[in-house]
Amino acid sequence: MDAEERIARGLLYTETDAAPLQHRRRADLLHEYNMTAPGEVARRTELLGRILGSVGKRPVIASPLQAAYGSNVHIGDDFYGNTNVTFVDDVEIRIGSGVMIAPNVTLTTTGHPVHPDLRYDFNRFSAPIVVEDKVWIGSNAVVLPGVTIGYGSVIGAGSVVSRDVPPMVVAVGVPCRPLRAITDADLRERQA
């Protein structure tokens, strides 16, 4: 079984196994993106199109942006990512439209075995992440491998998301758990 099949099946694979996939990494383009001025909107948008697997309309990602590959990240329309967004995208991260990600958030599709004897040659496993439309992820949150965050949900600052989050909830904590539903009463909060 080749590395791509092992990775796709969520099986352990090593750095040596993953070496043939290095051509998918966008490190030089990420560096170039991070060196552009915030006002260079057209240039930054063009670079995002070359870095990421797919990009919707009107993306905004503040520098610095970090990614393991970049090419495995897919974002929808009207995406906003604040400073220090990190994508550990050994496999796909799919982000819907109208998603906002606060500063210092990490979405990691990859983890490592618990037993030290299995961590040779950076042995690891990967599982895709899905962030559905209109999600807001608060500062310093971490989203772990295999998680889906449902439509419209809010992830509280500092949360560690290790399990799926249903649609239309506020979820917080370590580990992250739904705190309450988002309801029409929330339409009246924080209005100008």
Angle at 186 between CA 183 and CA 192, to 5 degrees: 160
Measured CA distances, 23 to 18, 49, 68, 83, 171 (Å): 10, 17, 12, 26, 37
CB burial readout 5-36, b (16+ within 10 A) else e: ebbeeeeebeeebbeebeeebbeebbeebeee
Instruction: Give dist(CA 134, CA 168) in Å, integer.
Output: 10
Clarify whether 112 is annotated catalytic: yes
- Max distance between CA atoms of the chain, in angstroms, equals 58
Kindly report the three-state secondary structure assignment for every residue of 80-111.
Answer: EECCCEEEECCCCEEECCCCEECCCCEEECEE
Q: Which of 23, 31, 74, 112 is catalytic?
A: 112
Indicate which residues carry an active-site annotation. Answer: 112
